Homo-oligomer: A and B are copies of this chain.
Amino acid sequence: MIAFDYNTKVYYKDIDQMGIVYYNRYFEFFEQARTELLADIGLVVSEIERKGFYLPVVSAKCNYKKGAHFEDEIIVKTMINEAPLARLKIDYEVWRKKDNDFLADGYTIHGFINKEGEPKRPPKFLLDVINSFISD
C-alpha cells in the first residue's frame, strides 16, 4: 500500500449555509491529496503530463459522515492499494484534526489518455514506481 496524509484547512469559500463544507469541495481536497501522494513517490503530475499522459477521473465517490466547519484542520488519508491494470484507484479518508472525528471517505478512479484524448495503457515509468512502492 502507498499512503500519504495530506493536511489542509477549511475556509469560508468551502462552507455553505448549513455551516458545513459544501459536498463538492471534498473532491477538490481529494485532488490536492492525490497530487501530493503522487509527488511524494516521485510522480509529479505536471511531469506525467509533460510526458504526454493525462489521468482523467472516470468515477468518483464520496460518503459524508460528519460536516467539517470553518477553520477546521483536516487530514486526508490517501491510499493506493494496487497497481493499475487499466485504471488507477485512489482511496481517501477525511479526518478532523482537533477531535479525530471521521468526516468522510471516498475514492477516485482514473483512466490514462494521451494528448489527443485517446485511451492508453498506464505508462511503464508510472507502473514501475507504483509497483516498487506497493511491493515494499
> Interface of A with B (CB < 8 Å)?
9, 11-13, 15-20, 22-25, 27-28, 31-32, 35, 44-46, 54, 56-64, 67, 69-71, 108, 117
How far apart are the CA atoms of A20 and B24 in the complex, in Å? 17
How far apart are the CA atoms of A60 and B22 in the complex, in Å? 12
- Given A35-B12, A64-B56, the answer on whether A27 and B28 have CB atoms closer than 8 Å is no
The residue from B9, B13, B67, B71 contacting A24, defined by CB atoms under 8 A apart: B13
Chain B residues positioned under 8 Å from A117 (CB to CB): 67
| 10 pairs, A vs B, C-beta closer than 8 Å | A9-B32, A11-B35, A12-B31, A13-B16, A13-B28, A20-B56, A35-B71, A46-B69, A59-B62, A60-B64
Chain B residues positioned under 8 Å from A13 (CB to CB): 16, 22, 24, 28, 31-32
In the complex, the 3 A-B pairs of residues with the closest C-beta atoms, listed nearest first = A24-B27, A23-B57, A61-B61
